[in-house]
Amino acid sequence: MADYKGRMAGFRGEKSLGFYLSMLSNSKYLIFHGLRLLYREYYFQMDFFLLCSAFGIVLEVKNMSGELSFEKEQNQATCKRNGNEERIKNPVLQAKLQARKLKNWLREHNCPDFPILYFFINSNDRTIIRTEIRNEQITQHICNSKNLLEKIDQIEKYYKVEKLNKKELNKIKRLLLTNHTPDNPDILKTYHLSPNDIQTGVQCPESCSIPMVYKRGKWNCPKCNAQSNNAHIHAIHDYFLLIKPWITKTEFCQFLHIDSPHIGLKLLKSMNLPITGKFKTQVYHQTTISSSGYEKRIMQR
Ligand SMILES: [Zn+2]
């Protein structure tokens, strides 16, 4: 279960970073989350990629607790927790590698050259990070979520030259999004869970309780009385992640606890998912990956 916990910590880290990133100017920055691209037969995935007209930044996000140490000599990283010290993959080098792959990928797709920077963000404030002196090659690429905006301010002052015009930015955006290939990890298989371990129903965005009830065109929470028009969207993304990357009309109604097939179809159609098949065999396919916190659905056993 250690890996599962690591995954959950990762999701939490990305969520808290999302809060700081939301304060960046929308008109200036394009923010990509979980971009996964094919490069020379292998996929690589970036937690976040920020792009503006002057530069791009790749962010590798971890939510590690304990004490992280970076050694200069072998570029080793270790993590000390509860008295145990363990060697870990150096997250700064991971970020560097992703940035290099992205640079090559963009070059092979005939994009103009622009600087791509990289950072390892540790989103756990209580973590102690130790580095050896004169190890700037590593330390200048480490940051916590709170300092990220300040770091970006500094970068803006240094990288002022516009490298990409509006048209080129849009071209890169389209290129990245059309080539993004969501990874559906087989979570159930990996953690030896069965579909019965998954709690169905729509989750309340306010109190997080499951399920909400669909009444008079709205999702209603019996626990806290919150209402929502679109709470089912997260539920369906959870379904795609946990069960399979497509869904039928019947499965949709079952998962969301909707009795009326008519209402179910209306909600399903409103999601504008790509459809294949005809009539009764129609299936609706996953479009984007979303880490809405599906881990809450895995029942405690
Ligand atoms: Zn509620």
SS3 per-residue string spanning 191-206: CCCCHHHECCCCCCCC
Do residue 48 and residue 194 come from a single domain? no
The residue among 184 and 1 whose pLDDT is bigger is 184
Instruction: Tell me, in angstroms, the distance from the centre of ligand 1 to residue 200's CA.
Output: 16
If we measure between CA atoms, which residue out of 27, 72, 38, 64 comes closest to residue 176?
Answer: 38
Residue 258: pLDDT over 80: yes
Instruction: Tell me, in angstroms, the distance from the centre of ligand 1 to residue 227's CA.
Output: 8
CB atoms within 10 A of CB 15: 15
Instruction: Tell me, in angstroms, the distance from the centre of ligand 1 to residue 222's CA.
Output: 7
pLDDT at 294: 56
**How many CA atoms does the CB half-sphere of 120 hold within 13 Å?**
24
Query: Please, which residues bridge with residue 194 across strands?
Result: none
What's the domain count of the chain?
Answer: 2
Task: Using the 3D structure, point to which of 127, 154, 179 is the last residue of a domain.
Answer: 179
Report the largest interatomic distance among the alpha carbons of the chain, rounded to a whole angstrom.
Answer: 67
Supply the CATH number for residue 135's domain.
Answer: 3.40.1350
Task: Using the 3D structure, point to which of 121, 154, 179 is the last residue of a domain.
Answer: 179
CB atoms within 10 A of CB 28: 12
Q: Cα separation of 156 and 52, whole Å?
A: 10
Residue 286: pLDDT over 60: yes
Do residue 165 and residue 210 come from a single domain? no
Do residue 16 and residue 143 come from a single domain? yes
φ, ψ of residue 284 to 5 degrees: the values are -110, 135
Give the mean model confidence (pLDDT) for residues 59-63.
87
pLDDT bucket at 193, cuts 50 / 70 / 90: confident
Do residue 11 and residue 148 come from a single domain? yes
pLDDT at 289: 45
Question: Which domain range does residue 123 map to?
Answer: 2-179
pLDDT bucket at 300, cuts 50 / 70 / 90: very low
Residue 166: pLDDT over 60: yes
The residue among 96 and 297 whose pLDDT is bigger is 96
Instruction: Tell me, in angstroms, the distance from the centre of ligand 1 to residue 187's CA.
Output: 27
The residue among 87 and 105 whose pLDDT is bigger is 105
pLDDT at 85: 87
pLDDT bucket at 150, cuts 50 / 70 / 90: very high
pLDDT at 301: 40
Give the mean model confidence (pLDDT) for residues 82-88.
86
Specify the residue for token string 């806290």: 224
Instruction: Tell me, in angstroms, the distance from the centre of ligand 1 to residue 210's CA.
Output: 8
Do residue 38 and residue 71 come from a single domain? yes
Do residue 163 and residue 227 come from a single domain? no
Sign of the dihedral through C-alpha 43, 60, 240, 294: positive
Contacts of 35 (CB under 8 A, 6+ apart): 45, 46, 49, 176, 180
- Tell me the helices (H) and strands (E) count for the chain, helix number first: 9, 15
Do residue 46 and residue 158 come from a single domain? yes
DSSP string covering 263-295: HHHHHHHHTT--EES-GGG-EEE------S-GG
The residue among 191 and 210 whose pLDDT is bigger is 210
Average pLDDT for the chain: 84
Which pLDDT tens digit goes with each residue over 200-227?
Answer: 999 998 998 999 999 999 999 999 999 9
Instruction: Tell me, in angstroms, the distance from the centre of ligand 1 to residue 218's CA.
Output: 13
Residue 276: pLDDT over 60: yes
Instruction: Tell me, in angstroms, the distance from the centre of ligand 1 to residue 205's CA.
Output: 7
Give the mean model confidence (pLDDT) for residues 141-169.
92
pTM score: 0.62
Report in angstroms the alpha-carbon separations of 295 from 44, 107, 224, 292. 23, 37, 21, 9
pLDDT at 268: 94
pLDDT bucket at 70, cuts 50 / 70 / 90: confident
Give the mean model confidence (pLDDT) for residues 113-141.
84
Instruction: Tell me, in angstroms, the distance from the centre of ligand 1 to residue 242's CA.
Output: 23
Instruction: Tell me, in angstroms, the distance from the centre of ligand 1 to residue 202's CA.
Output: 10
pLDDT at 292: 46
pLDDT at 113: 95
Read off the amino acid at residue 95.
Answer: A
Residue 11: pLDDT over 60: no
Instruction: Tell me, in angstroms, the distance from the centre of ligand 1 to residue 143's CA.
Output: 35
Task: Using the 3D structure, point to which of 179, 213, 244 is the last residue of a domain.
Answer: 179
CA angle 6, 8, 13 (to 5 degrees): 95
Instruction: Tell me, in angstroms, the distance from the centre of ligand 1 to residue 219's CA.
Output: 10
Do residue 116 and residue 147 come from a single domain? yes
Do residue 114 and residue 221 come from a single domain? no
Q: Cα separation of 179 and 267, whole Å?
A: 28
Do residue 19 and residue 83 come from a single domain? yes
Instruction: Tell me, in angstroms, the distance from the centre of ligand 1 to residue 268's CA.
Output: 22
Do residue 165 and residue 209 come from a single domain? no
Give the mean model confidence (pLDDT) for residues 119-148.
82
Do residue 230 and residue 156 come from a single domain? no
